[in-house]
Structure 1
């Protein structure tokens, strides 16, 4: 993605990753109402996502069908790396240390991290 989607745009994109194609009306029912967005707001978010190249629109009679134009894993990878770069100098261990210091890691989280580390070492 050339330009990073906003938080609101990411909610729309996530809904499309979960189920596509969808119309603006579908997306308004799915994510718009929960956020207090009108269909006009959802259409604005979709137009921005289309302009950014994150969503593709296809005419279907008098309506448009929207689908993601970027892969979820790739987008999550880019966003994760941006986050780690910006806040932790590109290093993951300070992020984990920060979460541990704030007691934000559950026992299940710790077990998953340990399993990932064992997998990386093998």
Structure 2
């Protein structure tokens, strides 16, 4: 999967939330959400199509995401882990805890999740 820039992520997010949409409807949504012009939205859509992040079907200029939000999130996390933490989940987790401002309840929930994960292995 290719790297997704912030503007492409905005288009993908609209599609993940709404499913297949006409490009004109995406443009209306992004004008409302972030103030983009129709031309800006169409430029980003074209870039997404070229990068195979979305598919576009004619007639009607119908757009659909090429993959799920979960798959994109997992890919981004993998890249983050490799590029900034040398593949170390422990270093990633420690940094996350330091910057996240996680509440005590959230920390307990993370501990429970880790414990359950370890018991399955």
TM tier relative to shorter chain: 0.7 to 0.9
Distance in 1, Cα, partners of 2:98 & 2:114? 19
For structure 1, the 5+ residue unaligned runs are: none
Does structure 1 residue 97 correspond to structure 2 residue 112? no
Q: How does 1:1-80 map to 2 (within 5 A)?
A: 1=1, 3-60=2-59, 63-80=60-77
TM-score by length of 2: 0.86
Tell which deviates more after alignment, 41-50 or 87-96: 87-96
Whether the 8 Å contact between 1:24 and 1:39 is mirrored in structure 2 is: no
Per-residue Cα deviation, 1:38-63 (whole angstroms, up to 9, x for no partner): 01111111111111111011113xx3
Whether the 8 Å contact between 1:21 and 1:67 is mirrored in structure 2 is: yes
The CA RMSD measured in Å over matched residues stands at 1.7
Name 1:118's counterpart in structure 2: 115
TM-score by length of 1: 0.85
Tell which deviates more after alignment, 40-49 or 65-74: 65-74
